[in-house]
Amino acid sequence: MDKNTSVLIVDDYKTMLRIIRNLLKQLDFENVEEATDGAEALAKMRAGNFGLVISDWNMAPMTGLDLLKEVRADARLKSTPFIMITAESKTENVIAAKAAGVSNYIVKPFNAETLRGKIEKVMANA
Amino acid sequence: MPDGSAPHGAEATAEGQRIESAVRAVLGSMSGDLTVVEAALLAELEGLGRTVARAKQEIASLKVDDITLSHIPSATDELDAIVDHTAQATNEILDVCETLEGVATRIGGPEAEALGNAVTRIYEACSFQDITGQRIGKVVTALKAIEARVDQVVSRFGAVSGHAASGESAAAPVDPDETEGRRLAHGPQLPGAGVSQADIDKLLADFD
């Protein structure tokens, strides 16, 4: 797992951004940027070079699922590992995310071990 | 009611008179003597008409403005304040955690590891603030839906809400631009209603 990977975390709750950032720091990921919805994240991704996206689902104006679809439709961004961390825990949500090309899916509330495991898995497959 | 006010006194009497004359009109249109069953049926109809008129009067005289102008906005403000205060408290806890992580870096050794593990558990616990905020958001949405329904029911009876009876369906209008992401954004599920992380992992594995 390359700890120099640039990670973009996307969540409309500032507190959650801070928690994920701190958990990533414990995993030695120091190169972390933040966005508060899908549209801002997409703009940052198009302007930058991220090796991993960790996104919430329920945000406005652009949701995490819509961000994922945009990313997978973009020739340059489409292979970026994308983890959804969300309170959306209905089967239909997981299926929709998988159909849109999500790399992994974490349901909130989650623990640090789950986050570490999923990051390792998607980075290994990247 | 022409002026949009609740039917009281004279208006309620007029309502009763309308029912009575309607029953008389039905009686007048019938030829020959009424059978016992027909007479009983008419009496029942008249009784029903009066019950409906009374219900309309009671609904129309509800203090709906209290609900829509005061109770529900006040409840939603209180809920918003709960979200703000829990976010503030969570951020203070996170401040302390970051200080502790700094201390752990300086002391090193097994104590630092124990401190780091404790801080991780606090981070995990703090993520509940997000879930709480989303759950409260769902309650606020439900309150606003109740407010709209109450308003609609009362306005249909010509009450004091200030809205004209529209006869429109209570269903929310469909947004043609709604994305799949927005349509599927249900928020947190109650315990047992959603799928677990283990079930999600199994589901994702089935795709691979």
Residue B31 binned pLDDT confidence (cut-offs 50, 70, 90) = low
Q: B82 and chain A: CB distance < 8 Å anywhere?
A: no
Do A18 and B200 lie within an 8 Å CB cutoff?
A: no
The predicted structure's pLDDT at residue A70? 98
Give the closest of B185, B196, B204 to A63, CB-based: B185
Q: Give phi and psi for A55, each to the nearest 5.
A: -130, 145
Q: Are residues B99 and B75 in the same domain?
A: yes
Give contacts of B 41-80 with A, CB under 8 A: none
Do A15 and B130 lie within an 8 Å CB cutoff?
A: yes
Q: How far apart are CA B172 and CA B146, in angstroms?
A: 12
> Of the candidates B143, B160, B177, which is a domain's last residue?
B160
The predicted structure's pLDDT at residue B149? 83
User: Model pTM?
Assistant: 0.74
Q: How far apart are CA A32 and CA A23, in angstroms?
A: 11
Query: In this structure, are strands A7-10 and A32-35 parallel, antiparallel, or unpaired?
Result: parallel
B180-208 pLDDT, tens digit each: 999 999 888 887 888 999 999 999 998 87
DSSP state, residue B168:
-
Q: Are residues B118 and B100 in the same domain?
A: yes
Residues of A within an 8 Å Cβ radius of B: 11, 13-16, 18-19, 22-23, 26, 38, 57-58, 62-67, 69, 87-96, 98, 104-112, 114
Q: Are residues B69 and B53 in the same domain?
A: no
CB-CB contact of B195 with B39 (8 Å): no
Q: Is the pLDDT of residue B48 over 70?
A: yes
Residue B171 binned pLDDT confidence (cut-offs 50, 70, 90) = low
Q: Are residues B40 and B85 in the same domain?
A: no
**CATH 3.40.50.2300 at A7-125, yes or no:** yes
Q: Are residues B119 and B154 in the same domain?
A: yes
Pick from A126, A74, A75, A76: nearest CA to A104: A126
Q: B207 and chain A: CB distance < 8 Å anywhere?
A: yes
Give the closest of B120, B195, B204 to A104, CB-based: B204
Q: Is the pLDDT of residue B29 over 80?
A: no
CB-CB contact of B187 with A107 (8 Å): no
Residue B160 binned pLDDT confidence (cut-offs 50, 70, 90) = very low
- Residue B200 is assigned to a structural domain of this protein: no
- Chain B positions in Cβ-Cβ contact with residue A114 (cut-off 8 Å): 197
Highest mean pLDDT among A9-18, B76-85, B140-149: A9-18
- Residue B3 is assigned to a structural domain of this protein: no
DSSP state, residue A8:
E
Distance from B11 to chain A by nearest Cα, in Å? 50
- Residue B134 is assigned to a structural domain of this protein: yes
A67-77 pLDDT, tens digit each: 999 999 999 99
Q: Is the pLDDT of residue A59 over 80?
A: yes
Q: Give phi and psi for A84, each to the nearest 5.
A: -95, 125
Do B180 and A96 lie within an 8 Å CB cutoff?
A: yes
Q: B97 and chain A: CB distance < 8 Å anywhere?
A: yes
Q: How far apart are CA A72 and CA A78, in angstroms?
A: 4
Q: Is the pLDDT of residue B2 over 70?
A: no
Distance from B150 to chain A by nearest Cα, in Å? 28
Q: Provide the residue range defining the domain that includes B140.
A: 64-160
Q: Are residues B50 and B79 in the same domain?
A: no
CB-CB contact of A52 with A80 (8 Å): yes
Q: Is the pLDDT of residue B34 over 80?
A: no
B49-66 pLDDT, tens digit each: 888 888 877 877 766 777
Q: Are residues B38 and B84 in the same domain?
A: no
Q: Is the pLDDT of residue A107 over 60?
A: yes
Query: Which H or E element spans position B23?
Result: helix B10-29
- Residue B176 is assigned to a structural domain of this protein: no
Mean pLDDT score of chain B: 80
Residue A18 binned pLDDT confidence (cut-offs 50, 70, 90) = very high
> Of the candidates B141, B160, B179, which is a domain's last residue?
B160
Q: Are residues B87 and B112 in the same domain?
A: yes
Q: Structural domain tally of chain B?
A: 2
- Residue B2 is assigned to a structural domain of this protein: no
More confident residue, B35 or B110: B110
Q: B93 and chain A: CB distance < 8 Å anywhere?
A: no
Q: Are residues B88 and B53 in the same domain?
A: no
Q: Are residues B117 and B42 in the same domain?
A: no
- Residue B93 is assigned to a structural domain of this protein: yes
The predicted structure's pLDDT at residue B173? 64
Q: Are residues B75 and B138 in the same domain?
A: yes
CB-CB contact of A93 with B186 (8 Å): yes
- Residue B29 is assigned to a structural domain of this protein: yes
Q: Are residues B101 and B136 in the same domain?
A: yes
The predicted structure's pLDDT at residue A29? 94
- Residue B37 is assigned to a structural domain of this protein: yes
Residue B13 binned pLDDT confidence (cut-offs 50, 70, 90) = low
Q: B127 and chain A: CB distance < 8 Å anywhere?
A: yes
Count the alpha carbons within 13 Å of B131 in the hemisphere toward its beta carbon.
18
Q: Is the pLDDT of residue A101 over 80?
A: yes
Q: How far apart are CA A33 and CA A10, in angstroms?
A: 9
- Chain B positions in Cβ-Cβ contact with residue A69 (cut-off 8 Å): 180-181
**DSSP output for B89-158:** HHHHHHHHHHHHHHHHHHH-HHHHHHHHHHHHHHHHHHTHHHHHHHHHHHHHHHHHHHHHHHHHHHHHTT
